[in-house]
A and B are shown apart, each in its own frame.
Chain A
């Protein structure tokens, strides 16, 4: 069974800092990994999906990397802004018996606060 761990659970940084959020997973036979953002009281918004054939995926100030061999992914946020304050979750898939759909296992998230 896939297990996903995110460290740290909470992070507070001053505006403008570059930061890295970490995600580790136990089953390296994944075909992709997703990073999501969740604002308080809201649903999840997909940020990046990185395929197993890729090592990195970028969107604006966000860069996600994937190292299947070590079971790790990182989300790099450049020049952080107060509007980046949210909980960031990573999710890795489980292969299920039917093979026709994929369950995602989510980490517990990193709660990021960017101070003005």
Chain B
């Protein structure tokens, strides 16, 4: 099992550019999550999807959109990147009330 995979691993964008971060899990989990991790701020939830077909905002959703493409895949889109979105982005998946499994992360720099 690959677990949770994320692409790309690294990305550099210019302010105003758009991009989509991809996440896939092969554990047949219903719930999927997107977090960002910043020094001094810890991990913060951006969006989550409780099940296929549903998405909800987390703590810091502004500037992001998500799509739960199917049970396996959950993408995060930055429509117009800003320097404040420079961060490490993690995708995770779980069953309800169970352990969350994390991907390796995407390191994004917005110039």
Looking at chain A's contact residues, the main secondary structure is strand
Residue on B with the closest CB to A47? B99
* Contact (A106, B100) CB under 8 Å given A96-B56, A100-B50: no
Interface residue ranges of B82-111 to A (CB < 8 Å) = 90, 92, 96-105
Say whether A109 contacts B42, CB under 8 Å. yes
Say whether A49 contacts B99, CB under 8 Å. yes
Closest chain B CB from A6 CB (angstroms): 9
Distance between Cα atoms of A53 and B54 in the complex (Å): 30
Closest chain B CB from A13 CB (angstroms): 23
Complex interface: chain A residues within 8 A of B4 (CB): 43
Selected contact of B104 from candidates A42, A96, A109, CB within 8 Å? A42
Distance between Cα atoms of A93 and B96 in the complex (Å): 11
**CB 8 Å contact bits of A79-116 with B (1 = contact, 0 = none):** 00000000001010100101011111011110000000
Say whether B102 contacts A45, CB under 8 Å. yes
Closest chain B CB from A73 CB (angstroms): 15
Q: Does B74 contact A (CB under 8 A)?
A: no
Chain A residues with a Cβ closer than 8 Å to the other chain, count: 24
Q: Does A32 contact B (CB under 8 A)?
A: yes
Q: Does A34 contact B (CB under 8 A)?
A: yes
Complex interface: chain B residues within 8 A of A31 (CB): 97
Say whether B101 contacts A101, CB under 8 Å. no
Complex interface: chain A residues within 8 A of B97 (CB): 31-32, 93, 102
Selected contact of A101 from candidates B48, B59, B90, B104, CB within 8 Å? B48
Residues of A near any B CB (own CB < 8 A): 31-32, 34, 36, 42-46, 49, 89, 91, 93, 96, 98, 100-104, 106-109
Top 9 nearest A-B pairs (CB, nearest first) are: A101-B50, A100-B50, A43-B102, A106-B43, A44-B102, A46-B99, A108-B42, A43-B104, A101-B31
